[in-house]
Amino acid sequence: MNPLDLVGARPGAPFTVTFDGREIEVLPGQTIAAALWSAGVVAWRTTREGARPRGVFCGIGVCFDCLVTVDGRPGRRACLTPATPGADIGTQAGTGHDD
Amino acid sequence: MTERRQVLAVIGAGPAGLAAALAAAARGVRVVLVDSAAEPGGQFYRQPAPGLGARRPQALHHQWRTWERLRDGLATHLAAGRVSCLSDHHVWCVERDSGRFAVHALLGPEQREPASVRADGVVLATGGYEKVWPFPGWTLPGVITAGGAQAMLKGGLTLPGRTVVVAGTGPLLLPVATGLAAAGARVAALVESADPTTLVRRSAHPRNAVRGARALAAHPGKLAEAGGYAAQLLWHRIPVLRRRAVVEAHGRDRLESVTVAVLGPDGRPVPGTAQRLDCDTLAVGHGLLPHTDLADGLGCRLDGAGVHVDDEQRTDVPGVWAAGEATGIGGAALSLAEGHIAGRSAAARLNGTAPDPRSWAPAARSRTRLRAFFAELDRAYAAPVRWAENVPDATVVCRCEEVTAGAVREAVGSLGAGDLRTVKLLTRAGMGWCQGRMCEPGVAGVAGCDLTPGRRPLARPVPLGVLAAPPPPDAGTSPCPGTSP
């Protein structure tokens, strides 16, 4: 069993995004976090102080742990942001800005 | 002069907000439903994204008939123009000015563009979020909140990993464990630090018999629900470990295993009881907290962690009602009852008449019963004794600012901080992106301070350009963006 079979999903045609240069297949409607989880990726940020890896924690937009860089813009919450075809997604180091 | 229809802004489209919107719209008030998600439903009825083409979303849900009733009711009112629905609107402030209200939001998911709604009354149905006590390893990727795992499953039809441990305390852990298992995850254990069977045993004790038995006997449905979960736990072969806790999560760059131990009367792991469970995911939660920022910004009085309301669900600020988890955690059925009462009261008051509480007597009776039931649950699922003393100094308690338990203890011990605000100023704990929502309970526990809800005049980060610009035109009268019936 998997979640798609459980709800009898018939998703639209998948598309691709890149994550740190690698191509990842995404189902339409999935957030960036859901797309990365489905591809087996659970970390896409490193912290400002300890450079420790982080990913989803609260999953509903409250904790800001899942921040990610999308098309050059850092600080996007992966759990809220839908993946769009061709999006260039990258691990966010610290604030994502050069400082 | 033609009389303008009164406008009620309902903030939050979960069970409480939907019930309030339907009740008010049916009684002659124009309702603007403002919600941060793409689709109504809130966390409880979070729906898979339409692009995923789910034909049986009910497989992930409880009380689906209730959802169908809410969804169809909303569609009817939308079609008739009695309700408009502003989805993807993240409200950051509600302003009260000369008896009317301005609801200020940012359009998601970018949250850069502003939108505002003018209203004559407001129902705050802002819901809640999960509380997690800190423990070593809780910042590792693969450690997520129990509700977060459920939200990602319901909305994105995805699992965080293959082997999951569900841990913490509270009734939410049951649907999370069984839901993840039904979706194909191997649930290695459900670790509950309380012993919820005490709920039944306590009720049998003569001292508690009247209160406890009354709370339980009033809810045969809740007992059946508990029985249903017990059967599902067996069916999915999920071992249930009671009076135990995850004392550490292990892994280098992601979770690899957890240590589970029996907690002794002093809250410490009992020697010789530790066991290591391999897993790539830990879904952990210790109960929920109400979202009170908007209420606090309006000057509404809080009762403990929730918004104070009267029998009509009115806050102490005229024109402002509150319903659901925002007033105190009590689940979807209580949210529906409170939302219904709030919507009826608001409609009557905005139309200049005194509401008749007898007209909502059944909802008021459910409210009384459910509040009593959840008060009993709260007692059964109490936090592990002295958990905070067992958080090692090196453990990060504030995830955003990476402040350790040791730094918090130093602020209290050497620097003399006596309250949460001083601890925050000295350590930066609670000053990061989440504004303390995630760490406040943990920091308060480790510091030995009272947990006072943090004051956040802006409920979410707002671009400076939006704060500086004049408010945008009223968005409440525009047609509803694609709400699928």
Indicate the DSSP class of residue B382: P
Q: Which long-range contacts (CB under 8 A, 24 or more apart) does B429-433 make?
A: B429/B397, B429/B398, B429/B401, B429/B403, B430/B398, B430/B401, B430/B454, B431/B400, B431/B401, B432/A64, B432/B398, B432/B399, B432/B400, B432/B401, B433/A63, B433/A64, B433/A67, B433/B400, B433/B461
Residues 6+ positions from B305 with CB-CB distance below 8 Å: B289, B290, B292, B328, B451, B453
How big is chain B by its Cα radius of gyration, in Å?
Answer: 23
Q: What is the dihedral sign for C-alpha B431, B323, B127, B398?
A: positive
Q: CA distances (Å), B207 to each of B192, B197, B203, B204, in order?
A: 25, 17, 8, 9
Task: Show which of B238, B253, B286 is a domain's final residue.
Answer: B286
Question: Given an 8 Å threshold on Cβ–Cβ distance, is B152 in contact with A56?
Answer: yes
Taking CA–CA distances from A54, the nearest residue in chain B reads B141
B235 in contact with chain A, both atoms CB, cutoff 8 A:
no
- pLDDT in the model for residue B55: 97
B36-65 residues touching A, CB cutoff 8 A: 36, 38, 43, 48-57, 59-60
Q: Could you tell me the two tokens for B51?
A: 């692009």
Give the dihedral of Cα atoms B404, B409, B415, B421; nearest 10 deg.
70
Do B142 and B169 lie in one domain? The reply is yes
Question: Given an 8 Å threshold on Cβ–Cβ distance, is A6 in contact with B59?
Answer: yes
Do B93 and B147 lie in one domain? The reply is no
Taking CA–CA distances from B440, the nearest residue in chain A reads A63
- Phi, then psi, of B52 in degrees rounded to 5: -85, -10
Whether B368 is in a domain gets the answer no
**Inter-residue contact B94 to B319 (CB < 8 Å):** no
A11-70 residues touching B, CB cutoff 8 A: 11-12, 27-31, 33-34, 37-38, 42-43, 47-50, 52-65, 67
Question: Given an 8 Å threshold on Cβ–Cβ distance, is A80 in contact with B109?
Answer: yes
Whichever domain contains B45, its CATH number is: 3.50.50.60
How far is residue B326's CA from residue A61's CA, in Å, rounded to a whole number?
17
Do B121 and B137 lie in one domain? The reply is no
Do B120 and B140 lie in one domain? The reply is no
B484 in contact with chain A, both atoms CB, cutoff 8 A:
no
Tell me the Ramachandran region of residue B257: left when phi exceeds 0, alpha when psi lies from -120 to 50, beta otherwise. Answer: beta
Do B100 and B157 lie in one domain? The reply is no
How far is residue B459's CA from residue B471's CA, in Å, rounded to a whole number?
17
For B201-220, letters b (16+ CB in 10 Å) and e give ebbeeeebeeebbebbebbe
Do B408 and B437 lie in one domain? The reply is yes
**Inter-residue contact B107 to B113 (CB < 8 Å):** yes
Distance, in angstroms, between B480 CA and closest chain A CA?
20
Whether B359 is in a domain gets the answer no
Do B222 and B272 lie in one domain? The reply is yes
Whether B432 is in a domain gets the answer yes
Do B169 and B248 lie in one domain? The reply is yes
Whether B464 is in a domain gets the answer no
Sheet (strand B143-145) strand order: B143-145, B281-285, B163-168, B186-192, B240-242
Q: CA distances (Å), B257 to each of B237, B261, B263, B399, in order?
A: 19, 13, 19, 20
- pLDDT in the model for residue B107: 93
Chain B residues touching residue A5 (CB < 8 angstroms): 184
Full pLDDT tens readout for chain B, 485 residues: 456 899 999 999 999 999 999 999 999 999 999 999 999 999 999 999 999 999 999 999 999 999 999 999 999 999 999 999 999 999 999 999 888 999 999 998 888 899 999 999 999 999 999 999 999 999 999 999 999 999 999 999 999 899 999 999 999 999 999 999 999 999 999 999 988 766 655 555 555 555 555 666 667 777 778 888 989 999 999 999 999 999 999 999 999 999 999 988 877 889 999 999 999 999 999 999 999 999 999 999 999 899 999 999 999 999 999 999 999 999 999 999 999 999 999 999 999 999 999 999 999 999 999 999 999 998 888 877 788 998 999 999 999 999 999 999 999 988 888 888 899 999 999 999 999 999 999 999 999 988 877 778 788 888 888 888 888 888 876 544 444 43
Classify domain A13-93 by CATH number. Answer: 3.10.20.440
> Environment class of residue B58 by beta-carbon count within 10 Å: exposed (0-12), middle (13-18) or buried (19+)?
middle
How far is residue B253's CA from residue B121's CA, in Å, rounded to a whole number?
49
A98 in contact with chain B, both atoms CB, cutoff 8 A:
no
Do B256 and B197 lie in one domain? The reply is yes
> Environment class of residue B160 by beta-carbon count within 10 Å: exposed (0-12), middle (13-18) or buried (19+)?
buried
- State the residue for tokens 């319901």: B154
Please report, for chain A, the start and end positions of each structural domain, with discontinuous segments joined by +.
13-93
State the alpha helices, DSSP H only, in chain A. Answer: 3-6, 32-38
Tell me the Ramachandran region of residue A5: left when phi exceeds 0, alpha when psi lies from -120 to 50, beta otherwise. Answer: alpha
B108 in contact with chain A, both atoms CB, cutoff 8 A:
yes
B253 in contact with chain A, both atoms CB, cutoff 8 A:
yes
Give the dihedral of Cα atoms B391, B394, B395, B396; nearest 10 deg.
130
ipTM: 0.97
A96 in contact with chain B, both atoms CB, cutoff 8 A:
no
Whether B2 is in a domain gets the answer no
The one-letter amino acid code at A86 reads: G
Q: How many domains does chain B have?
A: 3
DSSP labels, B214-270: HHHHT-HHHHHHHHHHHHHHHHTT--EEETEEEEEEE-SSS--EEEEEEB-TTSSBP
Pick the closest to residue A67 from A28, A98, A97 (CA basis): A97
Domain around B139: 132-286
How far is residue B19's CA from residue B13's CA, in Å, rounded to a whole number?
9
Q: What is the dihedral sign for C-alpha B105, B107, B111, B115?
A: negative
CB pairs A-B closer than 8 Å: 166
Interface test with A, best of B172, B433, B460 (most A CBs within 10 A): B433
Pick the closest to residue B172 from B199, B147, B143, B138 (CA basis): B147
Distance, in angstroms, between B151 CA and closest chain A CA?
6
Pick the closest to residue B363 from B396, B390, B397, B337 (CA basis): B337
Do B64 and B207 lie in one domain? The reply is no
Whether B462 is in a domain gets the answer no
How far is residue B72's CA from residue B227's CA, in Å, rounded to a whole number?
30
Do B196 and B234 lie in one domain? The reply is yes
Q: Could you tell me the two tokens for A87?
A: 């999006």
A72 in contact with chain B, both atoms CB, cutoff 8 A:
no
Whether B473 is in a domain gets the answer no
Residue ranges with strand state E in B265-364: 275-278, 281-285, 288-290, 302-303, 306-307, 320-322
In chain A, the N- to C-terminal Cα span, in Å, equals 46
Do B177 and B205 lie in one domain? The reply is yes
Q: Tens digits of per-residue pLDDT, A4-46? A: 999 999 999 999 999 999 999 999 999 999 999 999 999 999 9
Residue ranges with strand state E in A5-93: 15-19, 22-26, 45-46, 53-54, 67-70, 73-77, 88-90, 92-93
**Inter-residue contact B249 to B256 (CB < 8 Å):** no
A2 in contact with chain B, both atoms CB, cutoff 8 A:
yes
B127-156 residues touching A, CB cutoff 8 A: 129-130, 139-145, 147-153, 155-156
B254 in contact with chain A, both atoms CB, cutoff 8 A:
yes
Q: CA distances (Å), A57 to each of A63, B161, B162, B284, in order?
A: 7, 14, 17, 10
B361 in contact with chain A, both atoms CB, cutoff 8 A:
no
B267 in contact with chain A, both atoms CB, cutoff 8 A:
no
- Phi, then psi, of B130 in degrees rounded to 5: -85, 150
Whichever domain contains B436, its CATH number is: 1.10.10.1100
Distance, in angstroms, between B377 CA and closest chain A CA?
23
Whether B453 is in a domain gets the answer no
